[in-house]
Amino acid sequence: MSRKHQTPSTGGGGLDLQADCANCFGLCCVALPFAASADFAVDKDAGQPCSNLQADFGCGIHAHLRERGFPGCAVFDCFGAGQKVSQVTFGGRDWRRAPDTAGPMFQVFPVMRQLHELLWYLSEALELPRARPVHGDLRRALDDVDRLTRGSAEALAELDVAALRHDVNALLLRTSELVRAGVPGRGKKNRRGADLIGARLRGADLRGANLRGAYLIAADLSGADLREADLIGVDFRDADLSGADLTGSIFLTQSQLNAAKGDAATGLPPTLTRPAHW
């Protein structure tokens, strides 16, 4: 369901971290649950196919998700986990023609999605010159996570993802500190996990800020300077990024941009694309 975007270079590792819906069995439309809300028009249980899922595993309303009440689908990104599960873990056997794969496939998909998200962050970290002191550790972590993604369905289902995320996050946090270390005054900008819903931050100097996990829903960030800011896990739903400068920001994903508002003047990292609805 996500829009395709460039993947950070992996130094020749050949990782496929772009969603390729043509090679996926509509897993995000089946495996994941959602509740009727501003993001989804209806309730759907995990393992229940969305009513908009077609026989070819395509979405019948993909071009009109927002106006039909499914903006949550429009911003979702599996980071390539869908095709990995479909074509690698289950060898191209789809859950319709091979019903015995349905349960295990739907169980593995959320795990794989988290692993691929970690690969995205680790790949980006390896492209940051200031993080060179930890590049060795980052490369080892990336190789370890990549190896896990190629395990059996049984191994993936038993994986302690929380523990893995904890270990990788320690490396990503160290990366963030190294990148932000040279930004003047950045020590005063620790907004980690802050509730900034609806905040008026027009033109704010947030360069080098730690905004990890911050809630910036519907915040006015128009014209704000977010260069070298750590944006991992930031909730940008309906935030106004018009004219904001996000070039050089770290750990920003396409799904975060897709959830926000912006314009032609919004500065973006080269690995991401301007959402079509801006």
CATH classification of the domain holding 193: 2.160.20.80
One domain, residues 277 and 193: yes
What pLDDT is attached to residue 15? 82
Residue 5 pLDDT > 60, yes or no?
no
Model confidence pLDDT, tens digit, residues 143-171: 999 999 999 999 999 999 999 999 999 99
Domain boundary pick from 179, 204, 227: 179
Average pLDDT over residues 189-202: 95
65 and 94 co-located in one domain: yes
Provide, rounded to the nearest whole percent, the portion of the chain with pLDDT above 70: 94
Residue 7 pLDDT exceeds 70: no
Predicted confidence at residue 50, as pLDDT, reads 96
Domain that holds residue 247: 187-278
Q: Exposure string (b/e) for 17-39, b if CB count within 10 Å is 16 or more?
A: bbbebeebbbbbbbbbebeeeeb
Q: Are 136 and 89 in contact (CB under 8 A)?
A: no
Is residue 250's pLDDT more than 80?
A: yes
Is the same domain home to 170 and 251? no
Confidence of residue 19 (pLDDT cuts 50, 70, 90): very high
pLDDT band at 189 (very low <50, low <70, confident <90, very high): confident
pLDDT, mean over the chain: 93
Q: What is the tens place of the pLDDT at every residue in 38-49?
A: 899 999 999 999
Q: Last residue of some domain: 122, 147, 179?
A: 179
Residue with token string 């801006």:
278
Residue 16 placed within a domain: no
Q: pLDDT (tens digit, 9 = 90+) per residue, 78-133?
A: 999 999 999 999 999 999 999 999 999 999 999 999 999 999 999 999 999 999 99
113 vs 103: CA distance, rounded Å:
16
Section 252-263 average pLDDT: 96
- Burial 159-192, CB ≥16 within 10 A → b, else e: bebeebeeebbebbebbbebbbeebeebeebebe
Residues 42 and 166 placed together within one structural domain of the fold: yes
Q: What is the pLDDT of residue 60?
A: 95
**Going by C-beta distance under 8 Å and a sequence separation of 6 or more, which residues neighbour residue 72?**
34, 37, 39, 40
What is the reported pTM?
0.91
Mean pLDDT of 224-233: 97
| Cα separation, 214 vs 269, whole angstroms | 20
pLDDT at 21: 94
| Secondary structure letter of residue 131 according to DSSP | G
Write out the two tokens for 161.
């993802």
Cα radius of gyration rounded to whole Å, the chain: 19
Over range 190-205, report the average pLDDT.
96
Q: Do 196 and 72 belong together in one domain?
A: no
Whether residues 158 and 55 share a domain: the answer is: yes
Say if 214 falls within a structural domain.
yes
Does one domain contain both 136 and 247? no
| 198-38-266-200 Cα dihedral, nearest 10 degrees | -10
Q: Are residues 43 and 114 in the same domain?
A: yes
What is the Cα–Cα distance from 65 to 129, expressed in whole angstroms? Answer: 39
pLDDT at 8 over 60: no
Residue 14: per-residue pLDDT: 60
Whether 226 is covered by a domain: the verdict is: yes
Residues 55 and 163 both lie in one domain: yes
**Residue-level pLDDT at 182:** 82
> What is the domain count for the chain?
2
Same domain, 153 and 200: no
- The whole-number pLDDT of residue 59 equals 96
Tokens of 17: 């971290």
Domain end call among 179, 203, 237 = 179
In a domain? residue 244: yes
